[in-house]
A and B are shown apart, each in its own frame.
Chain A
Amino acid sequence: MGIGFYLQFPFAQHALEAAFLVAVSCGLIGPFVITRTMSFAVHGTSELAFTGAVAGLLIANNPLVGALVGALVVATLIGLLGQRASERDSTIGVILAAGLGLGVFLLGYYHGYASEALNILFGNIFGISSSQILLLGLIAIAVAAVLTVIWRPLLFASVDPDVARARGVRTGLLGIVFLFVLAVTVTEAAQIVGTLLVLSLAITPAAAAQRLSPNPFVVTVLSIAMAVIAADGGLLLSFQFATVKPSVLIVAISFAFYVAARLVGPAVASRRRRRSAGPEMAELGRG
């Protein structure tokens, strides 16, 4: 029983669709996450999706909605308590610890199957219904729409905050909006790869892409492409190798992209240098 066999079933098709939607959103936000040094915020919000999901299971028997609401609460808390970049790191640490404690506490009151809750940690891509696909699709569209609107000023604010402020960019407001986009994206991704492995779609592809080009547009395209290949590729491979969980294969592919990018990155950069200008460009190599 290989890939072709599984693909006739709705659960497999849903899984591929969900992985695609999630990967596009993650690939989109990744370059911004790295430029704004917010990897820890991704990690924090994704682990707290666990707490939100358990709360959602308890209250409404709906982990996804619980996780989404929880993500918005977490983003608001990080935004309120960690306004300055210097304190954001520790703030996230504090909120993460408190939130996980709450999640474990809530889990004690949940009498359903423990695997429901554990799925949140490691992802459960094969349990996705059509209504969930619809929700994931709406989220992906919303994320892309918001990012399209704030793209340029957000990039400006991320790279060069002082000058951006002088030019009238509302850097604080953009930071909060991006935090919400990030929280929602990460929560969405947690359904697929699990909260523990979200970084493999939200950080790793963008980090790999950065090694291959200094052009922000190219980096974003590469980041999305690698996230999609990792997510759907990992899924397809898991049909072939049924004993390995898909999230493991997704992580493996995205990590392989990163290693490859680190290896060929320097060669790509030096070829670009030689092509772009005359002899004095050799000087640029120093940094």
Chain B
Amino acid sequence: MTAPLVELRGATVRLGQRTLWSGLDLALSEGEFLAVLGPNGTGKTTLLKVLLGLVPLSAGSVEVNGVPPHAGNPEVGYVPQQQAFDRTLPIRGRDLVRFGVDGHRWGLPLHSRATRRRVDAVLEAVGATDYADAPVGLLSGGEQQRLRIAQALLGDPTVLLCDEPLLALDMASQRAVTRLIDERRREAGSPVVFVTHEVNPVLPYVDRVLYLVRGRWAIGTPAEILTSERLSALYGIEVDVVKVRDRYLVVSAEDELPTEPGAHAHHDHAH
């Protein structure tokens, strides 16, 4: 087996007095899809920030493709959650994508023909050519996320980090966006770290899940981790996991279970 592309050993993050998680061991090899699950505030996004080199570890070590992470590493592609852009923001889809090539470089936004061709090619690849010249503020969430993926792919990343990229998307867009991410890992072998509060939309692609709950964590295949036993142990309260039609539902007697891997059983998730 080749060396892991992402490796954390005994990784610990403390923010002030609070320990988010500690002793985290994780190794991702080529083409692996890791879903990071858990309630809000347990440090899912912080894990991505560690891999981006924006948050330092308090203990342990982390390497991305053999070197410690640093901000601006072109080997790391980053897809954030969809955000609301102002309707009149003077930025077109292609401008947003182009930041993926040279947004960090000094100077005026002038582009060589080679850059323009690369941008066109990646826009085509994610199916965003039609709205590449529209203002981003007028695009739907799904269209925006395709641009985000195009932007991340332009750097030809070794690793793809996604932070809730499906949030606020409709089912069709969720599927389209997930498929694009999956395509990348199959074609280029980039492992994917996918932070989400809903595992079901990505379940067909997930190799392993990392489940974080208040400083505790568990890692393994979905079948290993998403069980009543494991989640009850993680949450420290009784939790039932039910699998219905290839979807995981997590049910707890107590209402306080903040975010779950699947749908809240006591919420309406009838889509």
Contact = CB atoms under 8 A, between A and B. Distances in A.
Interface of A: 31, 35, 148-153, 155-156, 159-160, 162-169, 209-211, 213-217, 219, 272-273, 276-278, 280-281, 284-287
A272 B92 CA distance: 12
Interface string B110-154: 000000000000000000001101110111100000001001000
Contact of B91 (A150, A216, A278, A287): A216
B54 A156 contact: no
Chain A binding surface, main DSSP class: helix
Given A166-B52, A216-B95, A153 B105 contact: yes
Contacts of B95: 155, 159, 215-216
Given A159-B89, A165-B54, A284-B134, 6 more contacts: A35-B90, A148-B108, A152-B105, A163-B103, A168-B73, A215-B95
A210 B140 CA distance: 20
Contacts of B134: 214, 273, 276, 281, 284
Contacts of B135: 214
Interface of B: 52, 54, 70-73, 76, 78, 80, 85, 87-92, 95-96, 99-100, 102-109, 130-131, 133-135, 137-140, 148, 151
The 6 closest A-B pairs by CB, nearest first: A168-B72, A214-B135, A156-B103, A219-B90, A168-B71, A166-B78
B130 A152 contact: no
A169 B71 CA distance: 8
B108 A153 contact: no
Given A151-B108, A152-B108, A281-B131, A167 B138 contact: no
A210 B86 CA distance: 11
A285 B70 CA distance: 40
A286 B52 CA distance: 35
B131 A152 contact: no
A151 B72 CA distance: 18
A181 to B, nearest CB: 15
Contacts of B107: 148-149, 151-152
A160 B99 CA distance: 9
Given A155-B109, A210-B88, A216-B109, A168 B131 contact: no
7 contacts: A162-B80, A166-B78, A168-B72, A216-B95, A272-B133, A277-B130, A280-B130
